[in-house]
Chain A
């Protein structure tokens, strides 16, 4: 489990500081890209820099979004006029703030679940660690088990 950015910075200031072991909450983070609105709150909240607002936007996200959402409305309009399937991600101009695909780096993730708690559209799900969750918590709905409860 990697350190946070701040943790690495503090460790670098400790003379002779060596990393023995780190703790992590270790939730499994599942992102539902079709629900994501690209607001970047997860990137703002993320302590380790695992989620970052990207400069590209995957057009397929619009087409996959649920029809009653704002993105779904845009996708529905696009679906009516499109001549072929999207070519791939498009570059987003700097002043377009919401239509972005969040870049998520599994390697850096601590599994703390902060992103899931801050997500306005519940596009991120923090599932409890596999080892703890094997038989007993299988019946508990994933959204009812926050990272804090798993730790306690």
Chain B
């Protein structure tokens, strides 16, 4: 789909990589409380945010997402000890990659929360949706298709 056809704001999308132990549990709790999430967000369950690699984030952006958020545990509360610290650094790395090729680094962002904070999760998703909504839609070229 050409980027120009996706002008409608309803069609923007945010991919949220959520840690199973905290952010996904928080999302679950927010759904149980019948709090609505912005319709733009797509949740992806991860065993730990340490599993999210730069390739996941960049492929999501290249394949149609306008923003990527990584939601993990609070610092020091990772169930695998340091997975969220790895994720924080990888997100920072992806942001630098994006900046160096002229894409807004805000399209990739890390959030931390605990499992008992569904409202914080909803607030993070809304914040991400607001930031992405303010940015222009991400334009993609089809150069990679010819190569791959």
Measuring CB to CB, which residues of chain A are less than 8 angstroms from any residue of chain B? 59, 62, 67, 70, 73-74, 76-88, 90-96, 99
User: Do B147 and A78 have beta carbons less than 8 Å apart?
Assistant: no
User: Do B141 and A80 have beta carbons less than 8 Å apart?
Assistant: yes
Interface size class on chain B is 20 to 34
In Å, the complex CA distance between A87 and B92 comes to 17
Query: Would you list which residues of chain B between 82 and 96 have a CB under 8 Å from chain A?
Result: 85-86, 88-90, 92-93, 96
User: Do B103 and A81 have beta carbons less than 8 Å apart?
Assistant: yes
User: Do B143 and A77 have beta carbons less than 8 Å apart?
Assistant: no
Measuring CB to CB, which residues of chain B are less than 8 angstroms from any residue of chain A? 54-55, 58-59, 61-63, 85-86, 88-90, 92-93, 96-103, 138-144, 147-148
Partner of A79 from the list B54, B86, B98, B144 (CB cut-off 8 Å) is B144
User: Do B55 and A76 have beta carbons less than 8 Å apart?
Assistant: no
Question: How would you classify the secondary structure of chain A's contact residues: helix, strand, loop or mixed?
Answer: loop
In Å, the complex CA distance between A84 and B98 comes to 10
User: Do B55 and A70 have beta carbons less than 8 Å apart?
Assistant: yes
In Å, the complex CA distance between A91 and B62 comes to 22
* 24 residue pairs A–B, Cβ–Cβ below 8 Å: A59-B101, A67-B147, A74-B54, A76-B62, A76-B144, A77-B63, A78-B58, A80-B140, A80-B141, A81-B61, A83-B101, A84-B101, A85-B101, A86-B100, A87-B101, A88-B100, A90-B93, A90-B96, A90-B99, A93-B89, A93-B93, A94-B89, A95-B88, A95-B89
User: Do B101 and A82 have beta carbons less than 8 Å apart?
Assistant: yes
User: Do A78 and B138 have beta carbons less than 8 Å apart?
Assistant: no
Given A59-B100, A90-B96, A77-B90 contact (CB < 8 Å): no
